[in-house]
Amino acid sequence: MFSCDVKMWSLQNLLFIICIALICVISTAAVIHVSGYEGRDVNVSCSYGEGYESYEKYLCRNDCGNSDVLVKTTEAKKNKYSIYDDKKRRVFTTTLSDLSSVDAGKYWCGVTRTGKDTYTEVRLEVEPDSCCDRSTNIQSYEGGSVSISCSYESEDQNNLKYICRGKQPSTCLQQALITSDNTQNAQFRLTDDKESRKFTVNITSLTQEDSGSYLCGVHRNTGLDVFSAAELEVKDPSHPAVFIVPAVLLLILIFALVMYKYKCYKVQGGGVNMNRNRTKAADAEEAMGGADIYENPEAATCSKKRSSRQQSTCHQNDDTGGDQQDSIYQNLVPTEDIYSTLFYSKGDK
């Protein structure tokens, strides 16, 4: 008898534990998880038991007091909430429009009864409608082709893959350029390598218009789809801007160099004559200074361009040409000053 009692007691305990576990499982399974994008709509669908078809249903927040009821089937539209009761399927759906981050949190689906209402817990997540912080940069050329590679999780192996333009996850699937259900069209081809968990979208006949943002999407049956971003730049290899700007800069540089050398050469040419004259006129100076002194003023003529007098020498030389060498000599006469300053500076050293 005693052992039988113990057995009864433990059996009751066991049943009690099983009951608690079942309640736990049921209550966790009863939480409905819903996700939506900021600025978009989301549907919250709750099912109810047979016999409740004609009862009032509602969606509420917090403690579900009278002021916490957001919308009810007896008043089907209120603010950004609307509710629809599908009595055949015994599912009522509340649509929350223009979601914002403050809408995220806990809600309850309620059925009004005499006595205590029934409740189903709802958790709403709101995510920004833009993707992603990181993106892969890809470059190609007009007329060429490019491959965008998109990795995915092993759990998504058999899910729908797709790619779209832009950065908005909420509209990506409906605006998909190509999906794994329809893997080829005029410009796009999608190949899915399930072993390396990567799908690749090949884009051919690239034009400048193909430049921009792309989103790789993987469809999830529950929760929001998964995305990764790519940024494509299509370059024009024959675009003038690629060459013209550096080419013009180079030409200007070459022209400046040539002009500079040309001016120096002309002045040097005059200088040689002058030197010959000088050699006759000032033998004593030559004896003192040596040949390199005569070269120095020429160098000075070009290198001391900042001196206004020398600059005018250069310019006038340019304007007047070879047959007005007299004026050049006249201009160059003050070079005696240079000579003397050079001598002084030599003497200083």
Ligand X SMILES: *[C@@H]1O[C@H](CO)[C@@H](O)[C@H](O)[C@H]1NC(C)=O
Encoding tokens for residue 10?
Answer: 């433990």
* Least spacing, CB of residue 95 vs ligand X, in Å: 5
* Least spacing, CB of residue 84 vs ligand X, in Å: 7
Looking at 40-48, 105-113, 158-166, 194-202, which segment touches ligand X (CB under 6 A)?
A: 40-48
- Cβ closest to ligand X, residue 95 vs residue 296: 95
Is 42 among the residues that bind ligand X (CB under 6 A)? yes
Task: Round to whole Å and give the CA distance between 217 and 22.
Answer: 37
- Cβ closest to ligand X, residue 43 vs residue 145: 43
Among 13, 43, 47, 196, binds ligand X (CB under 6 A): 43
Among 35, 38, 41, 159, binds ligand X (CB under 6 A): 41
CA proximity to 188, closest of 169, 170, 161, 167: 161
* Least spacing, CB of residue 222 vs ligand X, in Å: 13
Task: Round to whole Å and give the CA distance between 332 and 172.
Answer: 79
* Least spacing, CB of residue 88 vs ligand X, in Å: 14
Q: How many alpha carbons lie under 13 Å from residue 3 in its C-beta half-sphere?
A: 0
H helices present in the chain, as ranges: 2-30, 240-281, 283-289, 291-303, 308-320, 325-332, 335-348
Is 32 among the residues that bind ligand X (CB under 6 A)? no
Site residues (CB under 6 A) for ligand X, limited to 79-98: 93, 95
Give the residue nearest to ligand X (CB): 43
Q: Render 208-235 in DSSP notation, one character per residue.
A: GGG-EEEEEEE--SSS--EEEEEEEEEE
Looking at 22-30, 35-43, 70-78, 308-316, which segment touches ligand X (CB under 6 A)?
A: 35-43
Q: Residues in contact with ligand X, total (CB under 6 A)?
A: 5
Task: Round to whole Å and give the CA distance between 54 and 59.
Answer: 16
Q: Is the dihedral of CA 287, 292, 295, 300 positive or negative?
A: negative
Which residues contact ligand X by CB under 6 A?
41-43, 93, 95
